[in-house]
Amino acid sequence: MKTPDSSSRSNADSCAGRLKALADETRLAVVRHLMSGPCHVGEIQTALGIEQSLLSHHLRNLRDAGIVEATRDGKAVLYQLTPTMKRRRDGIVDLGCCRITFDPES
Amino acid sequence: MKTPDSSSRSNADSCAGRLKALADETRLAVVRHLMSGPCHVGEIQTALGIEQSLLSHHLRNLRDAGIVEATRDGKAVLYQLTPTMKRRRDGIVDLGCCRITFDPES
DNA sequence: CGTATAAATGAACGAAAATTCATATTTGGC
DNA sequence: GCCAAATATGAATTTTCGTTCATTTATACG
C-alpha cells in the first residue's frame, strides 16, 4: 500500500509542480467548481461535459498534487478541496507555496 | 511585423494558459526574480545559472503569456513584469484572471 | 566597415503530459 | 450471489513542452 492520503507520486512538492496541476483548463474548472463546495464525480462530469475516464485521470492528478481529496459516499465518490486549502474563502486557494485568488468571472 | 507588444501567439487569454506559463521551475524563478525589479537578461542568466538560449526561450514564453515585457537598453535587453501585473506589491502577481500571492520562501 | 557582445530564433529531438479505449474495482440492490 | 451504477486504472497513442545546438539579429565601438 502506497502512502494512504495524498502526495504519493508526481510533483506535489515544488510550487511550480503544484501550479502545473492547476494549469489546465479542465482541472482548473474542477477546482473552481469545488470551491463552491464538495461534489460527486458525476455532478462534476455533467457540469463539465467531459468523458468519464478523462475526468478520473484529471482527478487523480489533482489528488496527487494534494489539491483535492476523495471520500466514498455510497457507490459515488465525493470530492472536495484538501484541508490544506481549507483557508480558502471567496475563491482563495492555498497551495502551501502560494495563494491564488480567483477573479469572480473567467 | 506581428503584433508589436505582447500576447501575439499562444495561450495568453485563458487563466489556465497564463498559469501554465508560471508552472515551470525556471520561468517561476524568472518571475520571482523580476518581482524585485526590472532586470537585464544577462543578470537573470547568471542569477539562475542557465544557458543563454534556454533562458531566451523561457522569456519568450513569458512574453507570449503577457507576464513580462522587454525593452532594449543598449545592446542588452531589459525585462520587467507587464503593466497588467503592476498591481503587484509584496510578492503579489496579478494575472488578470487571478492574483497569486507568493510565500516569502520557496 | 569589421568585429565583439547580447539576445533571439528555428529546427530537431526526447521526455512528459493529455487523451482514448478497454477493463477492473467497489458498492448497493434484488 | 448476480447485476447494474459509479468510478478508477492501465496501456497505447497523440500532443505538447523543454532542451540543445547552430544560426541570426541588433547594437556599440574601434
Percent of chain B with pLDDT over 70: 83
Q: Report pLDDT digits (tens) over A21-50.
A: 999 999 999 999 999 999 999 999 999 999
Average pLDDT, chain B: 87
Segment B55-62 shows an average pLDDT of 98
The pLDDT value given to residue B11:
73
The pLDDT value given to residue B5:
39
In strand D, which positions have an atom below 7 A from any protein CB? 4-11, 17-23, 26-28
Q: Which of A14, A8, A10, A7 is nearest to A98 (CA)?
A: A14
The pLDDT value given to residue B85:
67
Q: Report pLDDT digits (tens) over A72-82.
A: 999 999 999 99
The pLDDT value given to residue B1:
31
The pLDDT value given to residue B106:
45
Site from B27, B28, B33, B62 to mutate, A interface, most A CB atoms within 10 angstroms: B28
Write out the three cell numbers for A84: 490544506
In strand C, which positions have an atom below 7 A from any protein CB? 4-11, 17-23, 26-28
Segment A83-91 shows an average pLDDT of 66
Burial of A15 (0-12, 13-18, 19+ CB in 10 A): buried
Q: Is pLDDT above 50 for A4?
A: no
Percent of chain A with pLDDT over 70: 83
Partners of residue B102 in chain A, C-beta under 8 Å: 15, 97-98
Average pLDDT, chain A: 86
State how far the alpha carbon of B58 is from the alpha carbons of A26, B22, B45, B68, B75, in Å: 24, 10, 11, 11, 20
* Least CB–CB distance from B100: residue in A25, A27, A98: A98
The pLDDT value given to residue B74:
96
CATH class of B6-101: mainly alpha
Other C-beta atoms closer than 10 Å to the C-beta of B6 total 18
The pLDDT value given to residue A55:
98
The pLDDT value given to residue A79:
98
**Domain limits, chain A:** 6-101
